A and B are shown apart, each in its own frame.
Chain A
């Protein structure tokens, strides 16, 4: 599913990330571990095609992401990759439903409200569709962010510090939801974190 070979990323001549070789099988859930500044976000950005690595290759579902032209890379990401960011980041000025529709539109698929309702219900926030995204609680936003990542049934879900802002109870809940949703759409899940609370939930790890 994911094959990384000879990956290196430099910022101003300083190597901040180096992954000689790493493979993840389809449907696996893996953890990317490392202290702050070790390059976790840089790695996820490179896999998502948001940043171009200095050297090396990344294949996602048989596609060489690093070899794609910018437009093709954006389209590939929209269709095949779901992202959950540490700050969640919903578009605050529109409704929760509109946030999810936006993800569908940008992935080039028609708006599918049934799918949106299904995802919201499976995350226990069925009634939240009409709420303004800027007004909901952090716990709710966490779920909406996960909903947005899975609404297009991606083959790869990348989560950057999805739990580090949460207390123990919410941390466990959010992680369970993420694993459930990834399993439900058969997606490969990659979680980058320095949060030791969730180490135990993953068998496969990449230490940076």
Chain B
């Protein structure tokens, strides 16, 4: 306890160097923890949103774009498909369920999805209040939409054309909110959900001759379907089939390259932090070798001197790691706030990512090893020879 007090006193006696050491460690830890938190949550979110959809059938174009627009609700659709053309696919015996999705409008940046009752099952969504939509122009809203827009059962909302927040309004076709979903932790929380017929109704003036939807979300009845259905659809129809699992893995790979580069940068940062910690401790030891010799004359054991040196290093380490995690999570949380403004991707700094325990352990272990060398020197310093030659 005296030892710790003394270690603090030594650290406080050179505040600039102490602050610099802590800052370097913290920056490295913060960068890695930020990346871990954000990528972990992104992955988790992607897999949760795509979990129940085995295959998406939509208009030809970029498969990634098709998945982004109809599963993650983050891009514009590749186009529309005819309802009639899609019927044989929904009827295929290998398909367990086929959920239609008709996109086109949004409400204050929240997408309005025309679908049917099977949509809720894809996200394990339950109604918290009210009932399911039945008549045309009835809608239910996700938990986030209700909270942000202050919507209750019975409220009216007016869609705007297009998926951006600022399209022209469909003022003459208001929706009536008849139900509100419980939070699901998926994209369903941010959607306005109605029937396909309602979406058609809003666009009745410029509707094509034959009814269209944006895509079909399929669940397989058998694993065999994965090998056969996509190929069959892509080869024999004018439509495109894309797998959410495959496309989100491809997306994460793309992002992963950038994340890895940043991670190496952070590791370099931490290596230099460890080096500077070593230099600081070694030079501090040199500076106060008479202090250490004096402590020995007062009866301190060599182990106590090693502990003193270690305590100093470990204090710096802990401060750096704690501050680093605070910074990393703070930055992730700030990003979450910023993205929430854009109503697209929920990120929070309040959750730990799985790799972070490893990160803390690795930094503390490497740091402690770094401190062991000066601690070793302190242990073996000979007080008699120090006091004899000053």
Contacts and interface: CB of A to CB of B under 8 A. Distances in A.
A75 B384 contact: no
A74 B301 contact: yes
B297 interface: yes
Given A94-B6, A101-B2, A102-B2, 12 more contacts: A74-B300, A74-B301, A75-B299, A85-B297, A89-B291, A91-B291, A91-B294, A91-B295, A93-B10, A102-B295, A106-B298, A106-B299
Given A87-B290, A89-B290, A94-B9, A74 B384 contact: no
Interface residues of B, number: 22
B10 A50 contact: no
A122 interface: no
A182 B214 CA distance: 98
Q: Which 9 A-B pairs give the minimum distances between C-beta atoms?
A: A78-B299, A51-B384, A93-B13, A106-B299, A45-B384, A50-B384, A93-B9, A106-B298, A41-B388
A50 B387 contact: yes
A89 B294 CA distance: 7
B6 A91 contact: yes
Nearest to B389: A41
A83 interface: yes
> Which of B13, B388, B390 has the largest count of A CB atoms less than 10 A from its CB?
B388
A141 B99 CA distance: 86
B299 A50 contact: no
Nearest to A71: B301
A41 B387 CA distance: 8
Contacts of A119: none
Given A93-B13, A105-B2, A86 B297 contact: no
B387 A93 contact: no
Nearest to B303: A71
Contact of B295 (A42, A48, A51, A106): A106
B126 interface: no
B383 interface: yes
A107 interface: yes
B275 interface: no
Q: How large is the interface on A (under 10, 10 to 19, 20 to 34, 35 or more residues)?
A: 20 to 34
11 contacts: A45-B384, A50-B297, A71-B301, A74-B296, A83-B298, A86-B390, A89-B290, A91-B6, A93-B10, A98-B5, A102-B2
A85 B298 contact: no
A190 B387 CA distance: 17
B12 interface: yes
B290 A106 contact: no
Nearest to A158: B297
A148 B299 CA distance: 13
> Which of B290, B296, B387 has the largest count of A CB atoms less than 10 A from its CB?
B387
B290 A50 contact: no
A27 B237 CA distance: 111
A91 to B, nearest CB: 6
A117 B2 CA distance: 20
Contacts of B296: 50, 74
A153 interface: no
Contacts of B5: 94, 98
Interface in B1-49: 2, 5-6, 9-10, 12-13
Nearest to B388: A41
Contacts of A86: 390
